[in-house]
Amino acid sequence: MKSHAKVVVIGGGVVGASVLYHLTKAGWKDVLLIERAELTSGSTWHAAGGMHTVNGDPNVAKLQQYTIELYKEIEKISGQSCGVHITGGIMLASTQERLDWLKMAKARGRYLGMDLEIISVDEAEKLFPLMDKRHFKGAMYDPIEGHVDPYGVTHAYAKSAQIGGAEIVRHTRVTDLQQRADGSWDVITDGGNVHAEHVVNAAGLWAREVGRMVGIELPILAMEHQYLITGDMPELVGKKEQLHAIDFEGEIYIRQERGGMLMGTYERAGVPWSEVATPWDFGQDLLPNDLERIAPSLEVGFQHFPALESAGIKKVVNGPFTFAPDGNPLIGPVKGLKNFWVACGVMAGFSQGGGVGLALSRWMVDGDPGADVWGMDVARYGDWTTLAFTNAKVRENYSRRFSIQFPNEELTAARPLRTTPIYEKLAAEHAVFGAYCGLEHPLWFAPSAAEAVDHVSFKRSNAHPHVGAECAAVRDAVGLLEISNYGKFEVKGPGTAEWLSHVMANRVPSVGRIALSPMLNDRGKLIGDFTMCRVAADHVLLIGTYAAESYYLRWFERLLPPSGVSVRPCAMEYVGLSVAGPHSRALLQSLVRDDLSTAAFPFMSFRRMEVGMVPAYVGRVSFTGGLGYELWVTTDYQRALYDSLMKAGREFGIRPFGGRALNAMRLEKSFGTWAREYRPIYGPYEAGLGRFVDLKKERFIGRSAAAEEKESGGALRLLGFRVDATDADALGDEPIWHDGKVVGWVTSGAFGHRVGASLALGYVPAAVAAAESGFEIEIIGERRNAVPLKGAAFDPSGALMRV
């Protein structure tokens, strides 16, 4: 084994082999893969090898498309067959809700160029005669589904990488990782040491253990997974290879395997494997079968596919593979650890391995993944993902793999975990809570405890009228919202203003003022949107998206000078409440000595005040788009602040409101939000944030790309729409049609109660953005007329925010 390499990839499963291949393809030849045993010695060797393009996250779906297309390329380079069988697949719906879900999945696939089709049960039966059509209501057909040979794929990647210059060392275990002062790594193995500039943790079943070598606890857990192969079936003799099928109700996937069928389940009673530590002596081993556990799924399977019952079981495979809490991979550089990369938690290696390898290699070589990989970024998790939290969420995710998650459905595992001091007080007001980064926050308030439950639905739910009443309170009187679930950073030091001016696209506000600012990457794309609150010359409170805290910190770390400025995350040190509505000023004025008149404390002001007995930062700003204030206090004061606002607010008609009402109101103002309207695939002018980009500044990150975008106008435009929808609103990811063609996609949607209309925000090509008509938005399979808005639906002049 060589003693130095630019990159050491730890792990020779399908993911490590793909990363290795993609690094050579991107031009890095001095790369070494170290594998403990033979290639495929983790989850890979016993996988069922199924692959498909459909994924809840369109950006992950794109990378899945890429993976499937890649197999031809690596077969050609390596001469190694991947054993690709493209059979096509059907997803079977037994309920109307599932059929609606399929229609939505088909619609999402439209703008990704997927050729999905909703078919009747009769058509489905023709394609897949093993099904008993009496159990189903309809199906979706996908021509690009199939399966591969896991051994063949891994070796095809590995050989292609070797042809490209990579080296692979087998039967060598990495036992420790030690970082040198310059950020490079000593990779300690039982066969000698290697000095590497970069290390990639692609250790699959052992990724947690490799993470622990560098002091991190990666949120992944292995689950046992079983599939069985039937005996040969006369029904298959002389027939074309059967399609892949997913039967959601049975939690079953099924495909042909030689003369029989392979059937796997994601059973409700899923069992984790090696919950705390994965044994190093586990190799190409299987776990004992437990057919009892999957019996309920098998029973449904035998009813739905009767020929299987008489075929008999030839073989059962029970093997472990890893999941992150949301079931998507964990990739990218790890905050605080220079040159340490992860590519793990990949639960669908044969659909996703290629895309993971591509994105990670680009990230390493070019400094940017080249695609929107937020849904897979390791930085989407933070300190709350303890071992037990991950355990609870992974079990839940596994057991719900084939369940529908409704847009208003809040999953229950690992809750409540994090709460603010007013949690019980809000519960007493009949709050229905959601969890965000493990933190409970109110979504809406029911009139009674008995009604404080969401009836899950793709349509407007039981919460609709109550959310409407909350919006009316904000429109006509005053509402109170808990805003603790925002991310916060304290930027301090003499270099604060200069550094922020370099990192943010907008100018840094003067002391006592607030400025909104996009944060751009070097390519001028949006990687954040912040509220900068200038506390003092050398002190700014930055407020942004909490879920992106690690993502932002990783970026800040890269840019911070050795001295003069520091950035400290303080999300849970400052918790907050917002009061909004025409009476919010009078309410707050009754509690503070400072003059809150517009002349003395205008829109976008920020100041330390005493609110009753509570010391607070008060900003005159509100995401509701009307008159409003955000109040930030240290956690110990939140109860007192809440009590005094609620007490004083009684005479002003105060009413608590939640995140659902806020979402509706921000849509009425066409205000975007991170991960929906603002993502690294959009530029600031495309996203309508041009007014927050200060091109008068000579230098800031992304300036030249932003200037070019301003000049060219960019390729896309974010538009607001009023949608002719009656009982269901757009949610996000629906296609936008124009003149009979899919031209764009919805990023968010909701009913705007203050304007009495269904609203959506979405991106369309700049060339069609000026059209005044001809738009439609597809909601649950139905194309609804959509009228593009010239400005915000509510208070387009913005006068109300400034009164």
Ligand X SMILES: Cc1cc2nc3c(=O)[nH]c(=O)nc-3n(C[C@H](O)[C@H](O)[C@H](O)COP(=O)(O)OP(=O)(O)OC[C@H]3O[C@@H](n4cnc5c(N)ncnc54)[C@H](O)[C@@H]3O)c2cc1C
Using CB under 6 A, list all residues that contact ligand X: 10-16, 34-37, 41-44, 46-51, 173-174, 202-206, 210, 225, 227, 317, 319-321, 344, 346-351
Measured distance CA(56)–CA(493) in Å, rounded: 43
**Furthest C-alpha separation in the chain:** 87
Q: Which is nearer to ligand X, 36 or 679 (CB)?
A: 36
Q: How far is the CB of 351 from ligand X (least distance, A)?
A: 5
Q: How far is CA 170 from the centre of its chain?
A: 35
Measured distance CA(328)–CA(332) in Å, rounded: 13
Q: How far is the CB of 229 from ligand X (least distance, A)?
A: 11
Q: How far is the CB of 60 from ligand X (least distance, A)?
A: 13
Q: Which is nearer to ligand X, 43 or 506 (CB)?
A: 43
H-type alpha helices, 483-560: 496-503, 549-559
Q: How far is the CB of 252 from ligand X (least distance, A)?
A: 13
Give SS3 for 501: helix
Of 144, 143, 141, 145, nearest to 90 by C-alpha is 141
Q: Which is nearer to ligand X, 80 or 758 (CB)?
A: 80
| Sheet strand arrangement including 654-656 | 606-611, 614-619, 628-634, 574-580, 478-482, 654-656
Q: How far is the CB of 18 from ligand X (least distance, A)?
A: 8
Q: Which is nearer to ligand X, 394 or 665 (CB)?
A: 394
Q: How far is the CB of 225 from ligand X (least distance, A)?
A: 4
Q: Which is nearer to ligand X, 347 or 614 (CB)?
A: 347
Q: How far is the CB of 402 from ligand X (least distance, A)?
A: 14
Q: How far is the CB of 267 from ligand X (least distance, A)?
A: 13
Q: Which is nearer to ligand X, 37 or 742 (CB)?
A: 37
Q: How far is the CB of 371 from ligand X (least distance, A)?
A: 19
Backbone angles phi, psi at 223, to 5 degrees: -115, 145
Tokens representing residue 169 in the block: 């060392």
Q: How far is the CB of 733 from ligand X (least distance, A)?
A: 23
Q: Which amino acid is at 540?
A: V
Backbone angles phi, psi at 312, to 5 degrees: 75, 155
Asked if 68 and 51 count as a contact pair (C-beta separation under 8 A), the reply is yes
Q: Which is nearer to ligand X, 245 or 768 (CB)?
A: 245
Q: How far is the CB of 327 from ligand X (least distance, A)?
A: 11
User: Could you tell me whether strands 89-93 and 244-247 are parallel, antiparallel, or unpaired per DSSP bridges?
Assistant: parallel
Q: Which is nearer to ligand X, 89 or 333 (CB)?
A: 89
Q: Which amino acid is at 564?
A: G
The sign of the CA dihedral 38, 218, 557, 180 is negative
**Residues 6 or more apart from 49 whose CB is under 8 A from it?**
83, 147, 148, 149, 150, 153, 350
Of 476, 473, 801, 526, nearest to 673 by C-alpha is 526
Of 364, 354, 295, nearest to 68 by C-alpha is 354
- DSSP string spanning 244-293? EEEETTTTEEEEEETTEEEEEE--TT--EESSS---TT--S--PPP-TTT
Asked if 697 and 704 count as a contact pair (C-beta separation under 8 A), the reply is no
Q: Which is nearer to ligand X, 34 or 543 (CB)?
A: 34
Question: Could you write out the three-class secondary structure of 115-145?
Answer: CCEEECHHHHHHHCCCCCHHHCCEEEEECCC
Asked if 59 and 375 count as a contact pair (C-beta separation under 8 A), the reply is yes
Q: How far is the CB of 46 from ligand X (least distance, A)?
A: 5
Q: How far is the CB of 112 from ligand X (least distance, A)?
A: 19
Q: Which is nearer to ligand X, 358 or 777 (CB)?
A: 358
Q: Which is nearer to ligand X, 279 or 447 (CB)?
A: 279
Q: How far is the CB of 262 from ligand X (least distance, A)?
A: 9
Give SS3 for 475: helix
Q: Which is nearer to ligand X, 16 or 375 (CB)?
A: 16
Q: How far is the CB of 586 from ligand X (least distance, A)?
A: 59
Give SS3 for 681: coil
Q: Which is nearer to ligand X, 201 or 420 (CB)?
A: 201
Q: Which is nearer to ligand X, 184 or 265 (CB)?
A: 265
Give the Cα-Cα-Cα angle 637, 642, 645 (nearest 5 degrees).
120
Q: How many helices (H) and strands (E) does the chain have?
A: 20, 39
Q: Which is nearer to ligand X, 52 or 754 (CB)?
A: 52
Using alpha carbons, list the distances in angstroms from residue 350 to 44, 50, 96, 530: 9, 7, 31, 38
Q: Which helix (H) or strand (E) holds 105?
A: helix 96-110
Tokens representing residue 518 in the block: 């996009």
Q: Which is nearer to ligand X, 326 or 729 (CB)?
A: 326
Tokens representing residue 339 in the block: 């040159």
Q: How far is the CB of 344 from ligand X (least distance, A)?
A: 6
Q: Which residues of 130-168 are buried (b: 16+ CB within 10 A; e: fewer)?
A: bbebebbbbbbbbebbbbbbbbbbbbbbbbbbbebebbb
Of 783, 696, 669, 670, nearest to 736 by C-alpha is 783
